[in-house]
Amino acid sequence: MPILAFLISLFLFLNISGWTNATYDPTIVPNNKVGIHILFPEEIENAAKLVNNDYKGSWGYVTIPIQSTDRDRVKWQKFLDKCKDLKIIPLIRVATVPEGTSWVEPNDYDLIDFANFLGDLKWPIANRYVIFFNEVNRSDEYGGLVKPEVYADILANAYDIFKNVSTDFFILPAGLDNAAPNAKGYIHHRKYIERMFLHRPDIFDHMDGWTSHAYPNPDFSVRPDQSGNNKIDGFKYDLRYIRQFTTKKLPVFITEAGWSTKYLSDIQISYYYKYAFEKVWNDDEVIAVTPFLLNAREGPFSVFSLTDDNGQLKEQALSLSSFASVGAPVFPEIELVAPPSQATQTALPRVEMEDLTSEYTAPQLIGRLFQIFTTLFGIKGIE
């Protein structure tokens, strides 16, 4: 499609000349990895109470989808403003729209529209986390077909398009269904990754992190001490496999996880969360864990809901919340009146004294100062 290629090239040319910032490594700052998956922006206040343990912690995570038909600037800016006020880090998963029994296949026009829309909004922290679609190794999640080569091109284009709007965008691939077999309508996640790499050997250069769906399969009910590709530590197997193709550091974002109440009681699940956070998800490579989901209301996902029919947090939600800590993300850099003479030049980060004194313990304050120092002088974290 020559016209589409021309439009993408023009888009990138027009944006690359502007001054942009760079993402920071989330592994080098104090981090509250507790999170939750929500479906609607108006759930953010209830989500904040959970992930920040009723405000004893701060800067937990929320995963939320946004559909291509829902680019309402007022609505989503209000949501991001709420995230800032409530000290929440949003992980926004872009989506198309459902059609029949599957989701419409995305295209590059969707990417350009999303990049412009999300790029115009004011985000609460410097990193703008964006996840590109969902479980793409299932045909019902990606246009009725499974196309790893096509998705690899979409993800690579997304990286280039979004980074040329702002390099503050932190690009995350779709979380894969690690329980999917090699069968009609499905591709095993390892085969999917391999085909992406064979089609585009540079595909891992078009990611800033890795997205994992860490469900306890089969039947979302396996004990947390069991290990495997389709268990709650599946991210470890993913990273081990990916290292055959790249040496790039990819921090892990577990954007879906959780046990079903179909076979387990609330108290059992609460113990499972305790074990998972103490023994499995405490891994330094894991940045966020956002179980699916806060409030499913009615329907097939109600067995995963962390709230009851009255909207109160269940026992397992309280167990999850107890692991909240005080996070210290990097905040957006100062806005310049005019861009610097060179596009690659970066500005000094905005540092407000209340950020350094209001809520940090001595070790956290040292970590925050180290983070500011490395940002100022462009020093990478020690690996």
Model confidence over 25-37: pLDDT tens digits?
999 999 999 999 9
State the pTM of this model: 0.83
- What is the spatial distance between Cα 206 and Cα 132, in angstroms, rounded to a whole number? 12
Q: What is the mean pLDDT of residues 70-77?
A: 97
pLDDT above 70 as % of the chain? 81
3-state SS record for 47-95? HHHHHCCCCCCECEEEEEEEECCCCCHHHHHHHHHHHHHHCEEEEEEEE
Question: What pLDDT score does 342 carry?
Answer: 34
> What mean pLDDT is predicted for residues 243-254?
97
- Residue 89 inside a domain? The answer is yes
CATH number at residue 42: 3.20.20.80
Q: In the structure encoding, which two tokens stand for residue 54, read together?
A: 């009723």
The answer to whether residue 345 sits within a structural domain is no
How far from chain centre, in Å, is Cα 364?
24
- What's the pLDDT at 48? 97
> What is the mean pLDDT of the segment spanning 122-138?
98
Would the pLDDT of 372 be above 90?
no
- Residue 348: per-residue pLDDT: 35
Q: Tell me, yes or no, whether 148 lies in a domain.
A: yes
Of 346 and 172, the structure prediction assigns the larger pLDDT to 172
Burial of 285 (0-12, 13-18, 19+ CB in 10 A): middle
pLDDT per residue as tens digits for the range 307-342: 998 889 999 999 999 999 999 999 997 543 334 333
Q: Does the residue 355 lie in any domain?
A: no
Tell whether 44 is covered by a domain: yes
DSSP secondary structure letters along 116-171? HHHHTSPPSSS-EEEEE-S-TTBGGGTTTS--HHHHHHHHHHHHHHHHTT-TTEEE
Number of domains the chain is built from: 1
Integer angstrom CA distances of residue 381 from 102, 325, 378: 41, 22, 10
Q: Assess if residue 35 is contained within a domain.
A: yes
Pairwise pLDDT comparison (368 vs 314), residue with the higher score: 314
pLDDT-derived band at 99 (thresholds 50, 70, 90) equals confident
Burial class (CB in 10 A: 0-12, 13-18, 19+), 280: buried
pLDDT score of 345 more than 70: no
Residue 150 has pLDDT above 60, yes or no: yes
Q: How confident is the model at residue 297 (pLDDT cuts 50, 70, 90)?
A: confident
Is position 370 within any domain?
no
- The contacts of residue 298 (CB under 8 Å, 6+ apart) are none
Domain span at residue 93? 2-321
Ranges of H-type helices in the chain: 2-16, 44-51, 73-86, 108-119, 148-163, 189-199, 234-242, 266-275, 315-321, 353-357, 362-377
pLDDT score recorded for residue 299 = 81
The reported pLDDT for the residue numbered 360 is 46
313 inside domain: yes
pLDDT-wise least confident of 1-15, 116-130, 241-255, 287-301: 1-15
Can you give the pLDDT at residue 146? 95
